[in-house]
Chain A
């Protein structure tokens, strides 16, 4: 009986494993803690500074508009998600909690805008931290 050779292209891995280097672990962590710093430590100065200005600026405007800074909570789902979003800004969030920046309740339209600014600043910072990781693993120049 003749031996038949079978090939299974589907069995091959589609993505190569990414080695976990110190910078690949450090860049997103630093980038989360200090907005833009994940890029700055990889010598992407302009990108890092622009990200920092945009994210910290957005947070600052949110606070100035008397937006609510969410605390850890187990209440309404939207409040929990608000806290997760706020936490995305890293050290800026902790400073806001320490110095009690922002409003405690949303009583006016401006405060509602401010609350959204603060939450979105956190979400944008998470995007920036993921981008810093992609640079660290060489996926992006």
Chain B
């Protein structure tokens, strides 16, 4: 055991979105401009989906 990190579901999902957006941006597009835009798009969609899913679960719970 090196260290035990505790993250909330939101923080973990945001980190996940950040990392996969970087890789998707670089690997799925050809020019630098397109890479940045696609990476940002992936991140925005993931974060948007996270908020939508979060509110949907809150509504289902209440």
Contacts and interface: CB of A to CB of B under 8 A. Distances in A.
B22 to A, nearest CB: 4
A124 B23 contact: yes
Interface residues of B, number: 22
B23 A113 contact: no
A27 interface: no
B32 to A, nearest CB: 9
Interface in B14-49: 15-16, 18-20, 22-24, 26-27, 30-31, 35
Given A65-B7, A110-B6, A113-B7, A120 B27 contact: no
Interface in A80-119: 101, 103, 109-110, 113, 116-117
Contact of A120 (B5, B16, B22): B16
Contacts of B1: 66, 103
A28 B12 CA distance: 29
Interface stretch (A8-16, A46-54, A68-76): A46-54
Interface residues on A, range: 20 to 34
B26 A47 contact: yes
25 contacts: A51-B26, A53-B22, A54-B18, A55-B23, A57-B19, A58-B16, A61-B15, A64-B2, A65-B5, A65-B7, A66-B4, A101-B2, A103-B1, A110-B6, A110-B7, A113-B7, A116-B16, A117-B12, A117-B16, A120-B16, A121-B19, A124-B19, A124-B20, A128-B26, A131-B27
Interface of B: 1-7, 9, 12, 15-16, 18-20, 22-24, 26-27, 30-31, 35
